[in-house]
Homo-oligomer: A and B are copies of this chain.
Amino acid sequence: MSKKTWKISELAGFVNGEWHGEQDVLITGLVDLDNASEGQIAFVSDRKRLEELQKIEASALIVPEGCLDAPVPFIEVKDPVLAAAIIHNHFLEDDYVAGGIEPSVVIGEECLIAEDVTVGAFVAIGNRVNIGHRVTVGAGSVIGDDVVLGNDTVIHPNVTVLNRSVLGARVIVHSGTVIGSDGFGYAHDETGRHVKRPHVGFVQIDDDVELGANVCVDRATFGRTWIKRGTKIDNLVQVAHNVVIGEDSILVSQSGISGSTVLGNGVIMGGKSAISGHLVIGNRVTIAAKAGVASNQDDGKVIAGFPAIPHKKWLRAATALQKLPDLIKEVRELRKMIVTENVDENPDQD
């Protein structure tokens, strides 16, 4: 981490915020409220939280619009979390210092590797690999034949990027992730044995995508599995063969997408949610945690449950489920009441 210092007024400029209080206070870093100390700027996303604070260790604050007062100088912004992220990235931003290629690295033939890269120990790079400027490949990662890694991409340690995968610029891949393994595709013969379908396609990952740890992105059977610009994928997520994920989508941990399904832009998949194969999911569809999507979804749908239905409907149904045992009793009673009524005229019967 670099040592940078900005005046609060300069920080406000980064985020088009309005600053209040002493303008010359010097800030050396950004942190959250719980870990703040002198010289740092912290952020409060919730006005109420600010009012409850007994003591502020930070020297300045980022606060939501409408906060008129704070015990320290502050910057007023529409979205404090966004402003904090932007300012924090300014503090951490460094000129890239290329670490070079560690002596143990094994490199195949006909590779095109920029001079300003950082490649860690025990990285195995295949043939005809193309690595752009300022790329980092962590120790123990394996880069297969004909792979392309765009400028400023970061491959963390122990990642596996298999043959013919194409990664754009500023892609981040966390440890343990596997890109380009064979999809799960078999034909079945008359005796019930499974005949492997060769997977001759590839994986394409566009600019600014981030993949968490231990994620799996399978290569296509034919053609490509494709994750588009700006999509962020959490740990332990499964992306099957021939899936296409649009731009700026969010896949939370342990979610999974079956083969050949196409997601639009801005889709959100909650944790542990799943989508069946060969579906089309529209733009900005939001899938609740643990949902299972078994049908196509129009743009903007918010769905939950399995099979997934509109979220509000699911919420009512899930809540109602708790009342079901009592409902069953009640219906039994009602039946008795009705039957009893019908026989009331005959008092000899019970």
Binding site for B on A (CB under 8 A): 1, 31-32, 34-35, 79, 81-82, 84-86, 88-89, 92, 102, 104, 106, 120-122, 124, 138-142, 144, 156-158, 160, 162, 172, 174-178, 181-182, 184, 186-189, 192-198, 200, 210, 212-214, 216, 218, 221-223, 230, 232, 234-236, 238, 240, 248, 250, 252-254, 256, 258, 265-266, 271-272, 274, 276, 289-290, 292, 306-307, 309, 313, 316-318, 320-325, 327-328, 330-331, 334-335, 337-338, 341-342
Contacts and interface: CB of A to CB of B under 8 A. Distances in A.
Given A192-B265, A216-B235, 5 more contacts: A92-B198, A156-B162, A216-B236, A289-B292, A327-B328
Nearest to A250: B194
Contacts of A122: 104, 106, 121-122, 124, 140
A227 to B, nearest CB: 13
Given A221-B32, A272-B274, A324 B317 contact: yes
A160 B142 contact: no
A169 B180 CA distance: 24
Contact of A331 (B34, B138, B222, B330): B330
A301 to B, nearest CB: 15
Contacts of A258: 252-253, 271
Contacts of A236: 214, 216, 236, 238, 256
Nearest to A294: B289
A121 B222 CA distance: 29
Contacts of A177: 176
Contacts of A139: 106, 124, 142
Contact of A120 (B124, B265, B342): B124
A324 B322 contact: no
A307 B318 contact: yes
A194 B292 contact: no
Contact of A198 (B88, B252, B318): B88
A238 B218 contact: no
A65 to B, nearest CB: 14
A160 B175 contact: yes
